[in-house]
Amino acid sequence: MKIGVLALQGAFREHILKLQALGVDAREIRLPEQLNALDALIIPGGESTTMGKLAVAFGLLEPLRDFTRTRPAWGTCAGLILLADRAARQKKGGQPLIGGLDITVDRNYFGRQVDSFEADLDVPALAEVARPEDPSSAFHAIFIRAPAVVEMGPGVQALARLPEDGPIVAVRQGHLLGTAFHPELSDDLRFHRYFVSMIDR
């Protein structure tokens, strides 16, 4: 199995290491033709406007749209923003998005004051891929200038929200996965294993 990680900008190396820990053939992706060999793609965290502009400059935007229409893709943080069909409170013209997830994201939901925080999330879907060696139940999630999902279409499943009826921070729509946080920075392989399991099916 070959999984690519979009490597234009941001936290792509950490994803590669997590995939390698699962025995996956993980590749950095910078050119459209590199997408052909892949079974699935991760779009990492970073800065979504920069990543979007670079994707346009590298001729990747349309190839990424073609890829994510049919093949499994997972966006983390800025990657979640790029996989969203809509971004809230955008200036006219907005930023280039890949789209695919029928959601609206708020890019800086937590505001400028709260730069980053950590939270223990209840993610029932991870039970499907849990192993005895995993940390127990809650997923310790790291949020960095994180977005949140503020609207979802009927085909989208909420996988996790912040405690006390907080905003939705993980979603799945068929072959597409999105997380507002950075599972590649947690000492926990379950989210990566969950994504791999989406490919096997």
Cβ pair 148, 109 in contact under 8 A: yes
* Beta strands at 176-179 and 168-173: parallel, antiparallel or unpaired: antiparallel
If binding is defined by CB under 6 A, does position 108 make contact with ligand GLN?
yes
The DSSP output letter for 31 is S
Per-residue interface string for the shown chain with ligand GLN, residues 2-41, x marking contact by CB under 6 A: ----------------------------------------
**Please, where are the H alpha helices in 71-185?**
78-83
**Both structure tokens of 125:** 């879907």
Active site residue 77: yes
If binding is defined by CB under 6 A, does position 179 make contact with ligand GLN?
no
Instruction: Provide, for the chain, the percentages of residues in helix, strand and coil under a 3-state DSSP scheme, each rounded to the nearest 5.
Output: 30, 30, 40
Per-residue interface string for the shown chain with ligand GLN, residues 56-85, x marking contact by CB under 6 A: ---------------------xx--x----
If binding is defined by CB under 6 A, does position 147 make contact with ligand GLN?
yes
**Residues with active-site annotation:** 77, 182, 184
Residues that bind ligand GLN (CB under 6 A): 45-48, 77-78, 81, 107-108, 144-145, 147
